[in-house]
């Protein structure tokens, strides 16, 4: 049996986590990812938004929510609903007139989510971020 695996109480193989996956993401990567999200919001608040940037914001909202469900963060559910509604409005407007823009009145809900996500990226163990990303991918694929 490989060194990084053992049998748990259920008799199934259990994989041990590496030291790096038990620690938070390195600070340079966390800053880069946070900057990506904040720049996406800034562009979408102005006239430089596009489908890719809206997708980045959507991804950040859902990852933040999944990490919150794991116990990392304390925003009320309503904050996620408002952020999702802001993105939905932007998508409807883009479909109607090609304007990939987050309305000024809706941006504050996304700012609140991104502030929590910044904190999560700096503090949450990397394996939990990977787990949240897997949940997001499963959600997108419909399973």
Write down the mean pLDDT value for the chain: 91
Domain residue ranges in the chain: 25-141
Instruction: List pLDDT tens digits, range 11-38.
Output: 567 678 887 888 889 999 999 999 999 9
Report the run of H or E that residue 13 belongs to, with start and end. Answer: strand 13-15
Residue 95 has pLDDT above 80, yes or no: yes
Q: What is the mean pLDDT of residues 73-87?
A: 96
pTM: 0.85
Instruction: List pLDDT tens digits, range 99-130.
Output: 999 999 999 999 999 999 999 999 999 999 99
């Amino acid at each position: 049996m490989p060194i990084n695996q053992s049998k748990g109480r259920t008799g199934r193989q259990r994989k041990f986590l590496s030291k790096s996956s038990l620690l938070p993401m390195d600070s340079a990567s966390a800053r880069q990812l946070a900057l990506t999200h904040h720049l996406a919001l800034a562009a979408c608040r102005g006239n430089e938004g596009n489908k890719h940037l809206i997708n980045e914001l959507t991804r950040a909202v859902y990852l933040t929510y999944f990490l919150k469900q794991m116990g990392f963060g304390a925003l009320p559910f309503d904050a996620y609903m408002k952020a999702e509604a802001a993105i939905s409005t932007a998508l409807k407007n883009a479909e109607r007139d090609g304007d990939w823009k987050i309305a000024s009145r809706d941006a504050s809900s996304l700012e609140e989510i991104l502030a929590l996500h910044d904190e999560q990226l700096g503090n949450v163990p990397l394996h939990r971020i990977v787990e949240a990303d897997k949940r997001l991918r499963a959600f997108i694929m419909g399973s």
